[in-house]
Structure formats: structure tokens, C-alpha cells
Amino acid sequence: MMRGGGMGNMQNMMKQMQKMQKKMAEAQEELGEKKIEGSAGGGMVTVVVTGHKEVVDVIIKPEAVDPDDIEMLQDLVLAATNDALKKVEELTNSTMGQFTKGMNLPF
């Protein structure tokens, strides 16, 4: 008798895992569709990335371009990109973290 109940439990657990995998895949897909902005220099430079960390747009206001100080513009682009990627990481952690709550995973 116990053997049959054990198999039923195993099948139920496998179904639950499959549901969770499907939900995780859907959440990953939704993340990829989101657009997250990072900015620097008080909005002089804005970088837009997807939830999959793909840079899709770089917006530079004309007043940010100083031909005598290209290095500052490069720094602003770098800072805006890092800001956007940090926001993606936070969004990913909050979105995907719901699937790992209560699990003592090493990561």
C-alpha cells in the first residue's frame, strides 16, 4: 500500500515541478520584454536595456556633447549603462526570487 502512495506523491511532485518550470519560463520571457532605463548626468545620457540585459537604445542630449571633453561623455554612457544593468538585476532578483523562496540554494 505504501508503495502506491509513494508513487502518487512522486507524480504529484513532478507535476508541481513542471508547473513551476513553466511559470519560471514565462517570467523569464516577460523580463525580456521589459525595457529598463538607466541614466547619468541628471538625464543627459539615458541607456535602455531589456530584462535580458540587451542594450536597445542610447539617448544623448545634445548639451552633453562637448568636443573638448569626450571622456566625460564616455563616462556618462558607462554610468548610465551600469545604472540600467543594476536595475535589471534588481528586477530579475525580485521577479525570479519568488520561485526560490524557502529553498536553501547555494546561489
Query: What are the chain's domains?
Result: 32-99 (3.30.1310.10)
d(CA 56, CA 83): 14
- Residue 103 confidence class, pLDDT cut points 50, 70, 90: low
- Residue 1 confidence class, pLDDT cut points 50, 70, 90: very low
DSSP string, 77-95: HHHHHHHHHHHHHHHHHHH
How far is the CA of 49 from the CAs of 56, 98, 102, in angstroms? 5, 23, 30
The candidate with the shortest Cα–Cα distance to 57, out of 73, 41, 38, is 38
Give the tens place of pLDDT for each residue, 51-60.
988 999 999 9
Alpha-carbon 39 to chain mean position: 17
In the predicted model, is pLDDT for residue 98 greater than 80?
A: no
Burial of 49 (0-12, 13-18, 19+ CB in 10 A): buried
